[in-house]
Amino acid sequence: MVYLRSRLDVADNSGARMATMIGVIGKGTAQCAGIGDVIVANVKEASATGTVKKGEVIRAVIVRTRQPIKRADGSVLLFDHNSLVLIDNALHPRV
């Protein structure tokens, strides 16, 4: 689970490095999101040569969380960092 104001790594080549979650799209007043949820985020760190700039408000989808994911076969999947991928309004990855 990722909560409001959580810092997430950016796992794509858009130029952003770190972002903060500021809202969840499609869940009403929910304040937490999981893998596959579309969120609104604010870019906190960005490279100078990237297409995304610091302070920009973007849409993103969460692709990794530190919270363990339990599968039906009994296996558990978890990652070291919370990560997201930037998307556009048509839900395609930004480059």
Per-residue model confidence as pLDDT tens for the chain (95 residues): 999 999 999 999 999 999 999 999 988 888 899 999 999 999 999 999 999 999 999 999 999 999 999 999 999 999 999 999 999 999 999 97
Given this model, what pLDDT does residue 28 score? 82
CA distance 43 to 68: 26
CA 85 to CA 95: how far, in whole Å?
10
Give the per-residue pLDDT at 29: 83
In this structure, the number of other CB atoms found within 10 A of the CB of residue 73 comes to: 5
Tokens read off for 58:
């973007």
Give yes or no for a contact between 84 and 10, defined as CB atoms under 8 angstroms apart: yes
Q: Are 7 and 20 in contact (CB under 8 A)?
A: yes
pTM: 0.91
Q: Note the pLDDT of residue 47.
A: 96
